[in-house]
Chain A
Amino acid sequence: MDNFWLIVSSAIILGIGIISIPLLPSKIKAFVNFLFVLLVAITTSIPAINALLGNPMDISLAGSAFFGNIPIRIDALSAWFILIINLTCINGAFYGIGYMKPYLEQKANLSLHWTLFLIFQTSMLWVCMLQHSLAFLIAWEMMSLSSLFLVIFEHEKKETLKAGVNYMVQMHIGVAFLTVAFIGVYFSQGSFDFLAISDYFGTNYNAWLFLLFFVGFGIKAGFIPLHSWLPHAHPAAPSHISGVMSGVIVKLGIYGILRVALMLKSELLLIGESVLIISILTGIFGILNASVHRDFKKMLAYCTIENIGIIGAGIGLFLIGSAFNNVILMVIGLSGALLHTLNHSLFKSLLFFSVGSVYQQTHTRDMEKLGGLIHQMPQTAALFLIGALAIGGLPPLNGFISEFLIYTGFLEGINTIGLTHSTLMILSLASLAFIGGLSLLTFTKTFGTVFLGNPRQQLHNPPTEVSLWMRAPQYFIIAIMLSIGLLPQFYFSITLQLIQSVLPESSMADLTKFTPTVTLMGNVGKYSMLFLIMLVFIYLLRNYFVKLHLVQENTTWGCGYVAPNVHMQYTGKSFSKSLGKLMDIVVKEKKKYTEIEVGEIFPQTRNHNSHFVDFFENTIFDKATKQLLKFLDYFQFIQNGKVQMYVIYGIFFILMVFFGTLFNLI
């Protein structure tokens, strides 16, 4: 079938889905939704795969005189993101079948949820295809709104609703920036086509427009200080939604930034350095916060911020490379960013799904209330563990591949460009290592607290392993992750071709220049395989020797103390306490308690409450908002609630218009 008709049929499938899902019985809604998601994914993936293979799609829909034609383009960059969206949405929809089982009696709510899921997927796909400012903004808005309603599925909870409103407001601030940027381009170039942006960059100062786009898209992606919606929205949403949102919706921010970055013509060095520095700070900030929080979904949300930082570092490398005309730096940076986008969407959805399983069984997101779940949910524990290893960038899993590429980029940068930049590069290199170390701490903490040791609290229902419906998509994700980890050269070559087709210059014509890098990636995969084999071999050897001798079971050694109880276990909080103390400039702890007074002979029971607050949200945004509200209070006399006054305003306005026209003032 023709590409165009495939796209049209995806829209038709969406229409049928929206109409039919509400009519079905609750039990099969989720499953039917999954089928529709799969169909949409198939119809849109075919043109995407064609584009990756070198046949990009370019269709123009006839528009009006004002709008101009609406171009639908799928180039290799869009294709990459389309495939990531489809993969993650398929997994999310499949996982959702099992995850939403306990909510079966909320019939209307479920209909809304699953239809919106379908709209959500399709709007994200359109965001990647439409290259017409207005149409793009409409798709972008649809995506934000549908995800908003997906987030507030449990709308009866006050916190969820609050997180939803926060999300909505922040998304619209982002849209405002994007709108300004697009309008600016329209007034200067007279076209809504994305190609006009490229023309604009050719003739005007680049940095300001890029800044507008960066802020607009950066809010979606979660660069600091624009990240503050993430730690609220992710915990509030159902887990399959968090997985998809963290997996792809933040990546569309990255898509937007990349789309614009590829069109930049000048000021590349300034922009590249800024992006790199912001990204590295984002990474450190994200993972530092992740390490101290006790809500495991909030922890994962901060971890998303960290990974956005790593992706951004790749983009920064790419821009710096273009500024110096250093093709190797450009390609390694960009392919690192693209691969990390794919990798992060895989392991982050895996992690969200596995903690979703924990949440479904225990009904708490507080890791200090859990413990020892590995005995009841061994498979979920193993799935989470693999996700944790991957997100820490450890070989032989996929996270290592993209981080290794970015490390290679930094090393390349150290050697090839001047003094100031090698300093920047080496500091980024060290920061990336620092981020890696911190994520090791964060995930050993989370895994250890949630899954290992003894249960810290009696749960109402004893947790059991979740159904195969929920586990299957996670195993599928792991299979893909391993394929990236062990055969990285294959994925790297795909990104190479992608980059070759999207870069405008002919500088990329010579792909053979990268044969050593492909071989290098092949070697990394090979050695990761060797590592895996060695792990298994030594374990088997050890098993053989252990079985030769007597094996006994006993209680944990309590250093001579014979009556330990579960509350003596090390908590997650104490695990990261020394780090928190060390970094208290960034991660601030707020405590609430009343001191025992001098004269208080019989102290009453009292509470001690401590939690970590977000630096930017607490010290900058909240204070700024407070000041703004204070200022706006001065104008409260206008909105005073008296109907008479409002009538007077109306009359005043009409009179103004009347006299204005009378004397030709307006």
Chain B
Amino acid sequence: MISLVLIVLTSLFFMGIVIRTKSIASGRKGPGLFQPMKDVIRLWKKGAVYSKTTSFIFQIAPSIYFASIIMAILVIPFCQHKGIISFNGDFVFFAYVLAFGKFFSIIGALDTGSSFEGMGASREALYSMLAEPAFFILMGSFALYTGHTSFHEIFVSLHFGSYISYGLGALATFVLVMIAMIENSRMPVDDPKTHLELTMVHEVMILDNSGFDLGLILYGTNLKFAMYGALIANFFTGSFTILIGILIFLAVQIIFAITVGVLESFSARFRMGNNAQFIFTLTSISILIFFGVLLIMGKFV
């Protein structure tokens, strides 16, 4: 329950921090922290335009995408507290529920019959598919390390002891940040501020969405960011009390948001053709984490 409240709270200003960081980095003052959220609320109050080509899929897709994110957030634990949903192997449920939402966002894009949106949909499907193994190997390694298979139990019993384990924590954070960037179609793989439809991934998929639906999708992205931030925060809050936990949580989220902003200000998007290879290297980093875990557990001779 706490994690849900905290994630929703963070989602209100997360994107604001990212945008403010980018503004400051480029020498502007930038909008207020809550401007992205105000934009979403404005969209929720607007009417909508639907393409004549579209069918009921286009109508239901944004809601399903949004619902899947909410459902995934319910799985995230906080400190010593379980998420609303918690069972052995719940991270599989987490990944598959998100995939359900993704399925609908992809066919929602294809429903418009636009070649641009098809292009974006194809890339989104490919990239998220390539990122799956990295996440599963990461979680599998921690399952091996802790002997548990649910988010909550893994995070609670995760304690850093040796130098290697700190290294592993850093690597895992890196992998999770990158997965978050891929899942949210942000900088190294996709530039949300690009001006050419041909080079977009996520932005081009939602070209035809408007009004309430667009608001849902945009807010969904904010929630997704906060959700991954919460996942990363859980690496560090496992054994603390709630109060310190909340502080760490907020600190991690803010640092995460600033990192995203800095990353987007000072790096260029990869060439579209190289993205696949880049995403696949995440899997090898995950395998590195797995070997590290084996090392700690003394299973290597």
B96 surroundings in chain A (CB, below 8 A): 393-395, 400, 404, 436
A503 surroundings in chain B (CB, below 8 A): none
Whether B48 pairs with A551 at a CB distance below 8 angstroms is yes
Whether B57 pairs with A378 at a CB distance below 8 angstroms is no
Give the residue of A429, A554, A569 whose beta carbon is less than 8 angstroms from that of B118: A569
Whether A552 pairs with B299 at a CB distance below 8 angstroms is no
A549 surroundings in chain B (CB, below 8 A): 45-48, 211-212
Whether B125 pairs with A535 at a CB distance below 8 angstroms is no
Bound-complex Cα distance A429 to B290 (A):
13
Give the residue of A407, A530, A557 whose beta carbon is less than 8 angstroms from that of B92: A407
Whether A570 pairs with B118 at a CB distance below 8 angstroms is yes
Q: How many contacts A-B (CB < 8 Å)?
A: 261
A440 surroundings in chain B (CB, below 8 A): 99, 102-103, 106, 125, 128-129
Interface of B is mostly: helix
Does chain B have a CB within 8 A of A422? yes
Does chain B have a CB within 8 A of A476? no
Does chain A have a CB within 8 A of B162? no
Whether B112 pairs with A453 at a CB distance below 8 angstroms is yes
Min CB distance B196 to A, Å, is 9
Bound-complex Cα distance A447 to B118 (A):
12
Bound-complex Cα distance A449 to B107 (A):
10
Does chain B have a CB within 8 A of A597? no
Whether A411 pairs with B63 at a CB distance below 8 angstroms is no
Return the CB mask of A252-288 against B: 1 if under 8 Å, else 0.
0000000000000000000000000000000000000
Does chain A have a CB within 8 A of B243? no
Known: A531-B97, A534-B67. A582 touches B144 (CB 8 A): no
A414 surroundings in chain B (CB, below 8 A): 140, 143-144
Whether B55 pairs with A415 at a CB distance below 8 angstroms is no
Q: Which A residues from 495 to 540 make CB contacts under 8 A with B?
A: 520, 523-524, 527, 530-531, 534-535, 537-539
Instruction: Name which of A436, A440, A443, A452 has the most chain B CB atoms within 10 A of its CB.
Output: A452
Known: A372-B53, A559-B197. A448 touches B110 (CB 8 A): yes
Spot the interface stretch: A88-96, A188-196, A308-316, A573-581: A573-581
A389 surroundings in chain B (CB, below 8 A): 100, 103
Kindly report which residue of chain A lies nearest to residue B119, judged by CB atoms.
A570
Q: How many residues of A contact B (CB 8 A)?
A: 84
Instruction: Name which of B140, B213, B216, B290 has the most chain A CB atoms within 10 A of its CB.
Output: B140
B46 surroundings in chain A (CB, below 8 A): 549
Does chain A have a CB within 8 A of B28? no
Kindly report which residue of chain A lies nearest to residue B122, judged by CB atoms.
A575
Known: A394-B99, A395-B97, A524-B87. A372 touches B113 (CB 8 A): yes
Bound-complex Cα distance A545 to B41 (A):
12
Known: A408-B88, A437-B99. A578 touches B122 (CB 8 A): yes
Known: A395-B93, A407-B92, A414-B143. A454 touches B55 (CB 8 A): no
Chain A interface residues toward B at CB < 8 A? 371-372, 374-375, 378, 381, 385, 389, 392-395, 400, 404, 407-408, 410-411, 414-415, 418-419, 422-423, 425-426, 429-434, 436-438, 440-441, 443-445, 447-449, 452-454, 520, 523-524, 527, 530-531, 534-535, 537-539, 541-542, 545-546, 549-559, 564, 566, 568-570, 574-579, 582
Chain B interface residues toward A at CB < 8 A? 44-57, 60, 62-64, 66-68, 70-71, 85, 87-89, 92-93, 95-97, 99-100, 102-103, 106-107, 110-119, 121-123, 125-126, 128-133, 135-137, 140-141, 143-144, 147, 149, 197, 207-208, 211-213, 216, 276, 283, 286, 290, 294, 299-300
